[in-house]
Amino acid sequence: MKMTREQRYRRIEQAEPGEIAKLEAQISVCPWRQSYHIQPIKGLLNDPNGFAYYQGYYHLFYQWFPLGTEHGMKYWYHTRSKNLVNWENVGIGIEPGGRYDSHGAYSGSAIEKDDKLHLLYTGNTRDEDWVRHPYQCLAVMDESGSVTKLNDPVISSVPAGYTEHFRDPKVWQQGDTYYCVIGAQRTDETGCTVLYRSIDLNNWEFMGGIRTQLTSFGYMWECPDYMEMDGKGVLVFSPQGIDAAGDHYQNIFQSGYLIGDPLNLQTREFNHGEFQELDRGFDFYAPQTMQGPDGRRILVGWMGLPDLEYPTDDSGWAHCLTIPRQLSLRDGKLIQQPVAEMVQLRQQEEGTHIRATIDNESRSFAGFNGIAYELICEISHLEAEIVGIELRANGTEKTVLLYDRIQQKVVLDRTMSGAKLAEQNGVVRQCTLTAEVIKFHLFVDSSSVEIFVNDGEEVFTSRIFPSRDSVDIRFFARGGKADFEATQWHY
């Protein structure tokens, strides 16, 4: 049963008697709760927000609607970790319902200043005609973890030339100056990113739109993020309204990046190469990055997409976040690799190891199975036409990851992965890859798989919804033989 608009825009304290207990009861029997991914305690999770290192912890907030699995009144929910691996739930970080966030505390980012963590976010409001009025608001978290919202917005209006789709501020510091990019829509309904600057985080000056070569590229750019790496400027954003083209842009909305010369903060000129997708899978959106205390650039994404239904919707919760990924540049591409800390989840140091030549067959090996695990498989001496792995498999279910040597494509197929997803989610994703040796690095959980191909050259992120007894792993070669070497660690 869909909620009415009034039901979706209630605050948590306005829940009906027994409503939250019912959600919790549904969740307690759900077979798809994750074992090591950040997921909502109940209700709906979406964009990662406020990702920052502060007072010895990595802090990560996420968009949260506590009363159901639809998008409604959004809170910021707060998690934290000392090692990027074991996350503890802290509780509500930003509560909506004030004058300038009456209909939700939308996405934003965090930066430390004066020993406090400053949270810059979009306050969502609606008037009596349900017209949106966005404000950019500031909240401040002190060392005790207590969060105080400023009474007034720090950016109180949308500049001329832009619509009310104006949100998701991402802040950084350069020298003595703070800058932020905001996702926007021009009045001609094209997407873009705009730039602001401030000396104190409270008073912001509008600089104008960032000048890219993508003058008409979708109708809205969400969740922009700007960073500099190896002397290059990188602009990450999530454009909406891009048509599919071959293997590209297959999801309802996309996430990707531009690499170029560093952004000229005076002229706002950004000279860049082509737009490239961050992830080839089904379920990846609204990523946010932060710079760790050791200088690493770390990314977390929402493992889901807006406007799509998922099998857990009937179980009182929806969506999760990806594992943290370290970013680097290689050959003009943004490379994502699992943060090194993930090895702390391995239950046994050595792992279970096999080495075998597989010739025109499918093979299972003792000890290779499970629901939550890490698996590294290297396939070499490829004579076979197709090689790959079936995971979370049993008699009727399997998720298939393969490399087609003839087509030179990596393919992820979830046609038989378990509970069906909405048709518009699709069942196959693929991308071109030319390589002599194929390395698949997999992170599998109760209802997801994250695949890093050839050390992060390509990444596939996907939700899957198999039954609990689909635990088999099979390695296969078709049309010839290939050498497989694999190690699995249970989590």
φ, ψ for residue 338, nearest 5 deg: -60, 140
60, two tokens? 């990560």
Selecting among 47, 168, 225, 283, the annotated active-site residue is 47
| Cβ pair 456, 335 in contact under 8 A | yes
Q: Is 20 helix (H, G, I), strand (E, B) or coil?
A: helix
67, two tokens? 């009363």
84, two tokens? 């990027």
- Return the amino acid letter for 213: Q
Report strand pairing: 191-198 vs 204-209: antiparallel
d(CA 254, CA 221): 10
164, two tokens? 């009310």
Q: Is 6 helix (H, G, I), strand (E, B) or coil?
A: helix
CA 263 from centre of chain: 24
DSSP states along 297-354:
EEEEEEES-TT---GGGGGTEE-EEPPPEEEEEETTEEEEEE-GGGGGG-SSSS-EEE
Using a 10 angstrom Cβ sphere, with 0-12 exposed, 13-18 middle and 19 or more buried, the burial of residue 347 is exposed
**What is the number of other CB atoms lying within 10 angstroms of the CB of residue 93?**
26
d(CA 464, CA 427): 10
The DSSP secondary-structure symbol of 17 reads T
d(CA 338, CA 300): 10
Q: Is 440 helix (H, G, I), strand (E, B) or coil?
A: strand
- Return the amino acid letter for 76: W
φ, ψ for residue 42, nearest 5 deg: -165, 165
Active site residue 47: yes
Strand segments (E) across 373-417: 373-380, 386-393, 399-404, 409-413
d(CA 431, CA 331): 17
DSSP states along 63-110:
EEETT-SSS-S-EEEEEEESSSSS-EEEEEEE---STTSTT-EEEEEE
- Active site members: 47
